[in-house]
Amino acid sequence: MAPNSIHWFRKGLRLHDNPALREAVRGAGTVRCVYFLDPWFAGSSNVGVNRWRFLLQCLEDLDANLRKLNSRLFVIRGQPANVFPRLFKEWKISRLTFEYDSEPFGKERDAAIKKLAMEAGVEVIVKISHTLYDLDKIIELNGGHPPLTYKRFQTLISRMDPPEMPVETLSGNLMGRCVTPISEDHGEKYGVPSLEELGFDIEGLPSAVWPGGETEALTRIERHLERKAWVANFERPRMNANSLLASPTGLSPYLRFGCLSCRLFYFKLTDLYRKVKKNSSPPLSLYGQLLWREFFYTAATNNPRFDKMEGNPICVRIPWDRNMEALAKWAEAKTGFPWIDAIMTQLRQEGWIHHLARHAVACFLTRGDLWISWEEGMKVFDELLLDADWSVNAGSWMWLSCSSFFQQFFHCYCPVGFGRRTDPNGDFIRRYLPILRGFPAKYIYDPWNAPEAVQAAAKCVIGVHYPKPMVNHAEASRLNIERMKQIYQQLSRYRGLGLLASVPSTNGNGSGGLMAYSPGEQQQLPGPNSSTNSHCKSPPRPPLVHVTLLLPHPQGARIGTGRRRGEGRRGVFPQQAAEAEHRGQGSVRASIWTERWLTYQQQHQ
């Protein structure tokens, strides 16, 4: 007897390169494609309207494509664990298929559903297609631990077989005699809900800059690959004002929701490169966007605390400040720095910002200016970014805040100079902060320096119509660099785990050697005229600040000479299992050998 199948959509919202969906229809008598949506969760979750709209458009497009195959999408209201047992019985299901989810929450959820299916006598088939590689194999190849430097990750995958080829798109021929029972009230019972039904007020909501769905994704990838010059020269286009705007070739939200197969993208890039370069093998770096995604997925797959500082074995526990007022100003684009505020306005309006713009606002919130935890910024991005992905979002924030993966803390983005170099005329500022439209280019990035007559002519008085800067960047960044330097120096002195701490070298010989400074020593730091702090005025150097580091020693050993006055103390310790790796001149990545840390954990748990 032909099986009755359910294919469970989560990510992977597409018909092309969907091996689990192919398994659902293989030899089946009936197939129903389901997506679970909890209306209560939708109304209470920390996800913004743009992201929900994108998801609903993806579901509508998926349903439209299934209709062409005389099938439909079944949007189920409720939780999978509560609803599946009823569906198994009601639809007489004997096969359940879905795409493998590598994230810890997904693996836990899927294990529970597999158990329910087994109890109901339902066969479960799971296929990998959201990632290029089997992440468990990468970890196995690395001795049972995820690689925690991108260089090591690249080394590992270079030893592996290439990703599997995409499977054929589901078609009428592949469906064969498999049918989908559809009732007359299908739309009422299983239709895609509206934003209003989910509790969103859409009055005044602008049209979507990023339309969701597989159809749009496939159109965009063709546009993306038309840029043969980029592939041939293997370069990214230079950053300019237009780069900051949403591109019709942008793909990140479509990869995040699985509207676009990462394997399809990978092999289309490969084929185009070989055509342009006459059959030469492409370098790994051609696939940078995909491989960084894969790197963070691998780092997160067995770490349920990957999005937290506390209890996260790869995250430095930095004593960030708790300042809800400052956090709100950053999130609501009221910092008084036009470059930062324009980026955050674009994020809230459109659900996307350029990757270098993400660097700028993340640095400003964390180690650059406000000294607020990366966890808070990650939550805001998770709410507003269309392409926010649990693994990639958390990994990127740890990286940009120098909490993991990257420790060159002495490089800091200037919220004036960085934007000015990118868009000297300030067109991006004028687009998203029209209140500043009247300022000449000379003052558009630092309008507080404009004479009163210029502010009056622009019909925008700083401190009245637009806020004054919430911090002195030059002072705050220098102070925070000093704090970061002390954190890594003090960690380097904790010999129990063999930590190598990254500190800027001042010997000028480019040796990249370790610098052994005591907590009380002062070191020359990058000044306001450095490449990362240009156009920022420099106040007198602030006094040295000592930071207490709380270590997880069984006797409660403490390293440090005090803490910053008025600062909430959260403790510091990097349980980083990163490989030692030299990076650039005068810096070394912070790292702890994996085996030493694991031994330490076993001894002191």
Count the neighbouring beta carbons within 10 Å of the beta carbon of residue 424. Answer: 14
352 annotated to a ligand binding site: no
DSSP 415: T
* Burial (Cβ within 10 Å: 0-12, 13-18, ≥19) of residue 367: buried
Q: Encoding tokens for residue 417?
A: 């100079």
290 is in an annotated binding site: yes
C-alpha to C-alpha distance for 314 and 402, rounded to whole angstroms: 11
Distances from the Cα of 295 to the Cα of 28, 300, 392, 534, angstroms: 36, 9, 9, 32
| HSE of 77, CA atoms in CB hemisphere, 13 A | 13
At CA 13, angle to CA 11 and CA 16, rounded to 5?
Answer: 120
451 contacts: CB under 8 Å, gap ≥ 6: none
Q: Which pairs with CB-CB distance under 8 Å and at least 24 residues apart come from 465-470?
A: 465/435, 466/336, 466/338, 466/433, 466/435, 466/436, 467/329, 467/334, 467/335, 467/336, 468/336, 469/335, 469/336, 469/337, 470/326, 470/329, 470/334, 470/335, 470/336, 470/337, 470/370
CB 20 within 8 A of CB 99: yes
List the end-to-end C-alpha distance of the chain, in Å, as a whole number: 54
Token code pair at residue 287: 């696939």
User: Which letter, b or e, does each residue of 154-188 get, where b requires 16 or more Cβ atoms within 10 Å of its Cβ?
Assistant: eebbeeeeebbebbebbeeebbeebebeeeeeeee
In the sheet with 73-77, reading across from the earlier edge strand, the strands are 73-77, 30-37, 4-9, 95-99, 123-127
Q: Per the structure block, which two tokens stand in for 361?
A: 């606002």
216 is in an annotated binding site: no
Count other C-beta atoms under 10 Å from residue 512's C-beta. 13
The reply to whether 292 sits in an annotated binding site is yes
5 sits in which H/E element: strand 4-9
- Is 294 marked as binding a ligand? yes
Annotated binding residue 214: no
291 carries a ligand binding annotation:
yes
Going by C-alpha positions, the residue among 78, 79, 101, 83 that lies closest to residue 93 is 83
Q: Are 597 and 577 in contact (CB under 8 A)?
A: yes
> Which residues, other chains included, contact 338 with Cβ-Cβ below 8 Å and sequence gap of 6+?
419, 426, 429, 433, 436, 444, 445, 447, 466
Nearest to 529 by CA among 540, 542, 538: 538
Q: Are 514 and 407 in contact (CB under 8 A)?
A: no
Show binding-site residues.
289-296, 387-389
Annotated binding-site positions for FAD: 289-296, 387-389
